[in-house]
């Protein structure tokens, strides 16, 4: 069966971002301190539904052994013309399908998750663990408070993700913004 026909066998829903949250470690800081902020989100929908062992097996048989998730996250001053304060730039998280010889894993074809920071691949223990490690993201940012200026500052985060065409999935993208959070700089 050709890849074109196999792709039409699947019917995944649309992919979107959920649980977008911007969480500062402290809501108040001094002008000479560093503001630490965490931006978290989950990828839900078709991309998450397609990340399952049956699809991994079919993809592996089609020699389609790597799923890439490209993402860019940034924090900016809230408002229509808010200036970008810090960004991750383009980062890529990978799911690599391989033939496992581990008797503890429930399926022969399994996924290893390769994070964008270049650390060693992570071997998940279950399918839900694989989805979580691949599609749930938390980014840590540090912004000098002097860059924000004195007073009350509202910050918001934005995320853009994209993925390529696979034997089981069409290419696509999704984006989202967090609600604004207020930080007081004294």
Give 63's DSSP letter.
T
Q: How far apart are CA 125 and CA 111, in angstroms?
A: 10
Q: Contact, 123 vs 110, CB < 8 A?
A: yes
Beta-bridge mates of residue 162: 70, 173
Sequence-ordered list of residues with C-beta below 8 angstroms from that of 74, at least 6 positions apart, any chain: 84, 85, 86, 87, 88, 157, 158
| pLDDT means over runs of 10, the chain (186 residues) | 57 92 95 95 95 93 94 90 90 96 92 94 96 97 93 95 91 95 94
Two structure tokens written together for 123: 């071997």
Give which of 132, 105, 110, 104 is closest to 59, Cα–Cα: 110
Residue 82 is predicted with a pLDDT of: 78
Q: Contact, 144 vs 85, CB < 8 A?
A: no
CA dihedral of residues 143, 94, 133, 173 (deg, nearest 10): 70
Q: How far apart are CA 96 and CA 98, in angstroms?
A: 6
Beta-bridge mates of residue 70: 92, 162
Residue 4 is predicted with a pLDDT of: 47
Residue 75 to residues 38, 50, 87, 99, 148, Cα–Cα distance (Å): 10, 30, 6, 40, 12
Measured in degrees and rounded to the nearest 5, phi and psi for residue 48 equal -70, -40
Write down the pTM of the prediction. Answer: 0.88
């Amino acid at each position: 069966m050709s890849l074109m026909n196999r792709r039409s066998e699947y019917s995944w829903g649309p992919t979107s971002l959920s649980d977008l949250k911007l969480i500062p470690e402290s809501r108040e800081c001094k002008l000479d301190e560093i503001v630490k902020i965490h931006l978290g989100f989950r990828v839900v929908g078709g991309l998450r539904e397609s990340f399952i062992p049956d699809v991994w097996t079919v993809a592996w048989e089609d020699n389609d052994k790597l799923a890439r998730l490209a993402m860019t996250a940034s924090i900016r001053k809230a408002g229509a013309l808010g200036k970008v304060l810090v960004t991750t730039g383009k980062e890529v998280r990978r799911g690599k399908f391989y033939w496992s010889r581990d008797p503890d894993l429930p399926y022969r074809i399994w996924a290893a998750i390769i994070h964008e920071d270049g650390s060693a691949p992570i071997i998940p223990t279950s399918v839900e663990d694989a989805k979580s490690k691949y599609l749930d993201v938390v980014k840590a940012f540090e912004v000098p408070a002097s860059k924000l200026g004195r007073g009350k500052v509202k910050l918001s985060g934005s995320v853009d993700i994209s993925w390529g065409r696979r034997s089981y999935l069409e290419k696509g993208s999704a984006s989202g913004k967090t609600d604004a959070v207020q930080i007081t700089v004294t």
